[in-house]
Amino acid sequence: MKKIILTGDRPTGRLHVGHYVGSLSERVNLQNSGLYDEIYIMIADAQALTDNAEHPEKIRQNILQVALDYLACGIDPEKSTIFIQSMVPELTELTFYYMNLVTVSRVQRNPTVKSEIQQRNFEASIPVGFFCYPISQAADITAFHATAVPVGEDQLPMLEQCKEIVHKFNSIYGETLTEPEIILPSNKACLRLPGIDGKAKMSKSLGNCIYLSDEEDEVKKKVMSMFTDPNHLRVQDPGNVDGNPVFIYLDAFCKPEYFPEFLPEYQNLDELKDHYRRGGLGDVKVKKFLNKVLQAELSPIRERRKKWEQHLPDVYDILKEGSKTAESKAAQTLHDVRSAMKINYFDDNSLLK
């Protein structure tokens, strides 16, 4: 069986460091591992429209931004197909057939949908399209026969729901669809990076993100303003590293070689944490170190982004070509789905018999 990756992001804003550690860097590693036969990275504009119907311009503006973020992180268009969801209309048709395999109460129980409905104050007025997006996500995944879906932890319920749809479809219509497996980051700190204000999630609306495209001085300003242990008031006070965003970021980003390079008085992160717990280590010193670590990680990404920004027509061509490639793959699956459901009336004249 072929090994195939499909994953994607909603283009509602530029991508941030939470996206990077939660999924983007993993995708780049998987891409470069050479273990996958096909890789599809989707800009999920149709999904983004399910809760932005009144602001299509916001989605449109972010198509190129997200594509630039992908290329900046090292997604290589020679190895991965980058495409735009709405340019593959087969996905919508698949969604329509899958909708019959899912109950309303099952979608209502999806924890991600539940919390997103709350966040958006949709309780009394959920757009039907929004409600159905887990089903459309199953169409995205199965259209490409994806075996692996590298995403953030918040997408686990989507993958569960997708697997159920695959089982149901295959049991009714015969083996047609492929069951996917979720790939989560192996580093626990990367599962969900908090915002710089310590809130559980980085989100554009909370204004607590460090973006991949932020300039050096913006990153520094954000790091120096980060929330830490609120009880660590004086340098000599003992501090808490658990749940402390500065240390969570270090857990996510710090590599052993950064100590000799930027903070040679410590051997490693454990030693730094011990000192903070004992007392005598100030927040400013830790933040300055984190800033250097982040700059080291982000500057190659920022540089690559700037290069691609000089070649926007190439980015446009990558998306256009990618969408064509993606559509032909999805069309094949749709053909197989229609045959399995016996709604392929004009493939031959057996309808007459």
SS (H, E, C) the chain: CCCEEEEEECCCCCCEHHHHHHHHHHHHHHHHHCCCCEEEEEECHHHHHCCCCCCHHHHHHHHHHHHHHHHHHCCCCCCCEEEEHHHCCHHHHHHHHHHHHCCHHHHHCCHHHHHHHHHCCCCCCCCHHHHCHHHHHHHHHHHCCCCEEECCHHHHHHHHHHHHHHHHHHHHHCCCCCCCEEECCCCHHHCCCCCCCCCCCCCHHHCCCCECCCCHHHHHHHHHCCCCCCCCCCCCCCCCCCCCHHHHHHHHHCCCCHHHHHCCCCCCHHHHHHHHHHCCCCHHHHHHHHHHHHHHHHHHHHHHHHHHHCCHHHHHHHHHHHHHHHHHHHHHHHHHHHHHCCCCCCCCCHHHC
Binding part of the chain for ligand TRP, among 2-10, 93-101, 189-197, 297-305 by CB under 6 A, reads 2-10
> Does 151 help bind ligand TRP (rule: CB under 6 A)?
yes
Q: Which is nearer to ligand TRP, 166 or 293 (CB)?
A: 166
Q: Which is nearer to ligand TRP, 13 or 239 (CB)?
A: 13
Binding part of the chain for ligand TRP, among 4-12, 201-209, 251-259, 328-336 by CB under 6 A, reads 4-12
Q: Which is nearer to ligand TRP, 13 or 74 (CB)?
A: 13
Binding mask 152-171 for ligand TRP (x = CB under 6 A): ---x----------------
> Does 90 help bind ligand TRP (rule: CB under 6 A)?
no
> Binding to ligand TRP (CB under 6 A): which residues in 245-304?
none
Q: Which is nearer to ligand TRP, 126 or 149 (CB)?
A: 149
- CB of 351 vs ligand TRP, minimal distance in Å: 35
Q: Which is nearer to ligand TRP, 191 or 224 (CB)?
A: 191
> Binding to ligand TRP (CB under 6 A): which residues in 305-344?
none
> Does 143 help bind ligand TRP (rule: CB under 6 A)?
no
> Does 149 help bind ligand TRP (rule: CB under 6 A)?
yes
Binding mask 9-48 for ligand TRP (x = CB under 6 A): xx---------------------------------x--x-
Q: Which is nearer to ligand TRP, 47 or 161 (CB)?
A: 47
Binding site for ligand TRP (CB under 6 A): 6-10, 44, 47, 137, 140-141, 149, 151, 155
